Amino acid sequence: MTTKKTTGHLIGYARVSTDEQEAQLQLDALADAGCSRVFIDKASGKSKDRPELAAVLDYVRPGDTLCVWKLDRFACSLIDLVTMVDALSARGIGFKVLTGALASIDPNTPDGRLMLQVVGAMAEFERSLIKERTQAGLDAAKAQGRIGGRPTVISEDRLTIARARRAKGESVSGIAKALGISRATLYRHLGQE
């Protein structure tokens, strides 16, 4: 997949899932493609902690092209793929995949734009399904008497103490410190009255 013609540098990104895996196949392919620099992560694709991905996204400049060996080394879902490719394109940065089903797609052509739109539509469909499933789960939990969210850190007893101390003129900061809660939590609960 290519979103811009290469006018700047070709920058590579490689990822292996575990320390036991080797990135050499990816590194060789990226070197053969002409990448002037390669960033390598050792992390699961689903991991939010991919420091080298963050570093390469920060490093690339308009006119550069970010190059990956396969899509699954770059994005863990269609939503991530579309989001990241759109963000790169908005910054004037190209994207190129060396192998796999989408390797020959160039969004600068009518066929390439169509394929990216199909991928984008699939990502939107995936987002809708996730939203529906999440809402169905919340509704089911509510029907069983469970309400989501974090449990409150302030009990009715503590709130009664806080109200009494506040009525005597004590500061919210002092009350919050004495009760071991944040000022924001105390303000939120006092404000609900």
Total structural domains within the chain: 2
* Residue 35 domain flag: yes
Same domain, 16 and 95: yes
Q: 47: Cβ–Cβ under 8 A, 6 or more apart, which residues?
A: none
| Boundary-marking domain end, from 86, 106, 126 | 106
Same domain, 18 and 98: yes
* Residue 98 domain flag: yes
Average pLDDT over residues 105-130: 73
> What are the residues facing 97 on neighbouring strands?
68
Record the tokens describing residue 19, joined without a space. Answer: 């320390």
* Residue 163 domain flag: yes
Contact 190, 166 (CB under 8 A): yes
* Residue 180 domain flag: yes
Average pLDDT over residues 56-76: 89
* Residue 177 domain flag: yes
Q: Which of 17, 44, 77, 89 is catalytic?
A: 17
| 128 noted as active-site residue | no
* Residue 141 domain flag: no
Task: Pick 146 or 78 by higher pLDDT.
Answer: 146
CATH number (domain holding residue 92): 3.40.50.1390
Same domain, 96 and 165: no
Contact 1, 99 (CB under 8 A): no
Average pLDDT over residues 91-99: 88
* Residue 49 domain flag: yes
The boundaries of the domain holding residue 35 are 10-106
* Confidence band, pLDDT 50/70/90 cuts, at residue 128: confident
Same domain, 15 and 91: yes
Task: Pick 76 or 69 by higher pLDDT.
Answer: 69
Residue 21 has pLDDT above 90, yes or no: no
Q: Tell me how far apart the alpha carbons of residues 146 and 159 are, in angstroms, rounded to a whole number.
A: 23
Strand ranges inside the chain, DSSP E: 10-16, 37-42, 65-68, 94-97
| Boundary-marking domain end, from 106, 136, 166 | 106
* Residue 55 domain flag: yes
| Boundary-marking domain end, from 46, 76, 106 | 106
Q: Tell me how far apart the alpha carbons of residues 146 and 132 are, in angstroms, rounded to a whole number.
A: 19
